[in-house]
């Protein structure tokens, strides 16, 4: 995914496995997992571009290398007891941020 207008890769539940994913200059998160997603992702890279569009919350960027949530509070009914819980298994990930705090807040490298 190159210069996407939202998350590059978003997994809404299920147990899909994926390999060799590339995200460049996402407008929001590079990788987003929620609603009980429990698959495996292997060999992924994300590269931020400080000049790309970045989603905003309260006037500052809320773009992340990885966002991982569970089911929404509305779906949970406030009890947070729905299963399965979001639990991605990530390996061989490289996430490269930018030199400005405005563009992307997190940079991680997983081995």
What residues does each domain of the chain span? 9-96
- DSSP reduced 3-state for 74: helix
Specify the pLDDT at position 97: 79
CA 34 to chain centre: 9
Tokens of 50: 């400080």
pLDDT in tens, 55-71: 555 555 567 778 888 87
Q: CB-based burial of residue 19 (10 Å sphere; 0-12 exposed, 13-18 middle, 19+ buried)?
A: exposed
pLDDT of residue 110: 47
What torsion do the CA atoms of 31, 12, 87, 90 make, to the nearest 10 degrees?
-30
Q: Which residues of the chain have pLDDT under 50?
A: 102-111
């Amino acid at each position: 995914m190159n210069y996407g207008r939202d998350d590059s890769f978003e997994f809404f539940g299920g147990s899909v496995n994926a390999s060799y994913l590339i995200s460049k200059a996402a407008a929001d998160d590079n990788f987003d997992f929620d609603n009980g997603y429990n698959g495996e992702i292997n060999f992924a890279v994300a590269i931020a571009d400080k000049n790309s569009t970045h989603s905003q919350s309260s006037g500052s960027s809320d773009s992340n290398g990885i966002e991982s949530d569970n089911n929404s509070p509305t779906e949970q009914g406030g009890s947070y007891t729905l299963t399965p819980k979001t639990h991605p298994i990530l390996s061989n990930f490289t996430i490269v941020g930018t030199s400005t705090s405005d563009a992307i807040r997190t940079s991680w490298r997983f081995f």
